[in-house]
Chain A
Amino acid sequence: MNNEADLKIFEKAREARKLIIEMVYSAKSGHPGGSLSIIDILADLYFREINIDPTNPNDPSRDRLVMSKGHASPALYSILALKGFFPKELLLGFRRLNSKLEGHVHRGVPGVESSTGSLGQGLGIAVGMALAGLMDKANYTVYAIIGDGELEEGSIWESLMAGNKYSLKNLIVIMDKNNVQLDGFTKDIMPMGDIRAKVSAFGWNVLEVDGHSIHEFSEAIKTAKKSGKSPSFIIANTIKGKGVSYMENNPKYHGSPPADEKEYELALRDIERMVP
């Protein structure tokens, strides 16, 4: 990585990675794997692409992001805190009674556009927001982040049909293709075959990037915004648990925090040693 802007975002992602580990370790539960796989993309979106102002969070012209994979709440919450929507200290209340930071993404948290948690729904919500944007001739972009396991929900394909029908050029879907879901590897649980071909056949403009290359992802967003009349679907190839050696590609860490102090410290050390 040689670009200074990219480097800055890499450091934001590093900071968020540490917060993710602290949140799930403090809560003794939560979903680190899919948070670590999407965090580079989220850092790029919130610190470069998305037009949003934490001091004016309800600005009608703001861009919207729906975290359809609502279990990646540690990723979204940590980025929103870093962006200044609420103090970082609140992150340690994650999953506790009397904290706003519900286990899955919750609209009561400043900066969150919609509650999510049951897979397959957030994309439909984003389609509705994009329809509203076109109706109102507004300039905002709607981003939806889905998981690759989430493609197993039929409602995702319903929403893809609607995105095509209504030519939602203001909608960009990012699929976090980390190849792992709760019970194991997606290829074993429900093989999806050629996702690029399938989504293209649904009429979408499909792009594919390394989801840990901030530069590549940022270029893909530029391309997606020039997609003409079609909605865009970015396949982001990622690594579940990216940055923490023992979590990488390990289905166990879809929904488990570091097991003990030793694992916790190893996770933070691994993150500290990540090189751009």
Chain B
Amino acid sequence: MTSESLRDKYGETIVKLGEKHNDIVVLDADLSSSTKTSMFGKRFPERFFNMGISEQSMVSSAAGLALSGKKVFVSTFAVFLMRTYEQIRQSVCYNNVNVKFVVTHAGITVGEDGATHQIVEDVGIMSGIPNMKVIVPVDSIETASVLNYLVEETTTPYYIRLTREKFPVLNEPDYEFKEGKSVTFRDGKDLTIFANGSMVSFSLQAAEELRTHGVDARVINLSSVKPIDREAILKSARETGKIVTAEEHSIYNGIGSRVSEVVSEDYPVMVKRLGMRDTFGKSGKSWELFDYFHMGVQDIVKLSLECFREDKR
């Protein structure tokens, strides 16, 4: 399976979109060579604003540009955008203007930089804000499709969570992202694994191994976290009875929480959550960290078997 960088794809795609839409502007806070917005800056210097290491004013200024009719993209590392929670809430979301936050280096796959840079709370923080929508693309193809959708079809705030590492390409080239819709990568009847981001490819590997244990697992990509695909969650709850969630995020307030909320309200089944268990990250090679924090393929297999074998109350 080939792997591709989601942030490289962001850099390329936003340039393409910039060719077509001369009202797209991009803001960054001294990380453009890492977030890849530098590509846009080179092509369209008059529409690129490097605001320096000043995230708060960057976000408010993004709102001002959007209030003046621009389609605004804001990029930095996910962790640093979080310091502007209140600017996002009031300048952008309360005004309900066309600002897209495309952040990179989210989660523990930042690796060696360590806990200070590994945000695992962001999806929860952003999902709580009215008017904000949250998407965690699974691969480079979905990243490009999401960006096209945002520019062509939407005028409200979005949070798009990208990573530093390359991720396996799972979607077909003609895949089209649909907001609020999940994608089933593998069908199964015994249990459903809802995952997003890095954990989708892990879940697919885990599903193969589960087969050798006699468990037929369904794997669904929940890239659209808000709005979430309630219909698919409830359908799986009815058809497979048991659910595992897997995300490169805290088990609090990400898809683990969202899926639990949906089934609790309408069709209660057992849900086991895999993710960061209320802890900070750590320096290390990104792929080592998954094992360290019990978020590797074997951990998904183990949790799924527990879920499958556990007595129903």
Contact = CB atoms under 8 A, between A and B. Distances in A.
Pick from A60, A107, A114, A123 the residue with the most CB of B within 10 Å. A114
Nearest to B49: A131
A123 B63 CA distance: 11
Interface stretch (B90-98, B137-145, B247-255, B299-307): B90-98
Contacts of B59: 124
B86 A131 contact: no
Given A107-B95, A114-B95, A161-B54, A129 B65 contact: yes
20 contacts: A114-B67, A114-B91, A115-B90, A117-B90, A121-B91, A123-B57, A124-B87, A125-B60, A125-B61, A127-B61, A129-B65, A131-B49, A135-B25, A155-B54, A155-B60, A158-B51, A158-B52, A158-B56, A159-B61, A161-B54
Contacts of B56: 120-121, 124, 154-155, 158
Nearest to B51: A162
A181 to B, nearest CB: 19
Interface residues of B, number: 28
Nearest to A155: B56
Contacts of B66: 128
A107 B52 CA distance: 29
Given A155-B56, A162-B51, 8 more contacts: A120-B56, A124-B59, A124-B87, A127-B57, A128-B60, A128-B68, A155-B60, A161-B54
Contact of A159 (B49, B60, B62, B69): B60
A112 B95 CA distance: 11
A140 to B, nearest CB: 9
A151 B61 CA distance: 17
B64 A114 contact: yes
With a 10 A CB-CB cut-off, give which of A116, A128, A132, A136 has the most chain B CB atoms. A128
A113 B59 CA distance: 17
B163 to A, nearest CB: 27
Interface of B: 25, 46-47, 49, 51-52, 54, 56-70, 86-87, 90-91, 94-95
Given A131-B61, A132-B64, A135-B46, A121 B54 contact: no
A247 to B, nearest CB: 28
Contacts, number: 101
Given A155-B87, A158-B57, A162-B57, A128 B46 contact: no
Interface of A: 60, 66, 107, 113-118, 120-133, 135-136, 154-155, 158-159, 161-162, 165-166
Nearest to B72: A128
A75 to B, nearest CB: 20
Nearest to B70: A132
A125 B64 contact: yes
B54 A128 contact: no
Contacts of B57: 123-124, 127, 155, 158-159, 161-162
A114 B63 contact: yes
